[in-house]
Amino acid sequence: MTARRLTAIAALALIVTTAGAETVLHIAQRSRAFDRDTIEIATGDVVQFSNEDPFLHQIYVASPSFSFDSDEQAPGTTIAVTFTKPGVFEVRCHIHPKMLLKVTVK
């Protein structure tokens, strides 16, 4: 094989590996609730939270091993959170404390 062909094969392998590295899961926020109670994902997966309510949300995770705290999320916007550590995490909303999504990261 030529060096050019080997480089092209290596680049393609990198693209395929990178493309399969994460899964994106969509969670809607509507009626002051997440659209489901629990999810199970792999380490490195991305969860997108879309605000489908006519008011603000502000999501957070508070755990010794993983934490996230968003800015205020306006109606119609989406926030992406990459879960980088395995464990069980509670996603909540500062503005609506009854909102709860349990995320299990394998």
- Residue 60 domain-assigned? yes
What digits encode the pLDDT tens for the residues 56-90?
Answer: 999 999 999 999 999 999 999 999 999 999 999 99
Q: Give the domain CATH number at 79.
A: 2.60.40.420
The total number of structural domains that make up the chain: 1
β pairing state of 46-51 and 78-82 = antiparallel
- Residue 65 domain-assigned? yes
Tell me, what's the pLDDT at 1?
52
Of 56, 60, 84, the closest CA to residue 70 belongs to 60
Greater confidence (2 vs 59) lies with: 59
- Residue 94 domain-assigned? yes
- Quote the tokens at residue 65: 């091993």
Whether the predicted pLDDT of 15 surpasses 90? no
The whole model's pTM is what? 0.77
Host domain of residue 57: 22-105
- Residue 41 domain-assigned? yes
Residue range 45-65: average pLDDT? Answer: 96
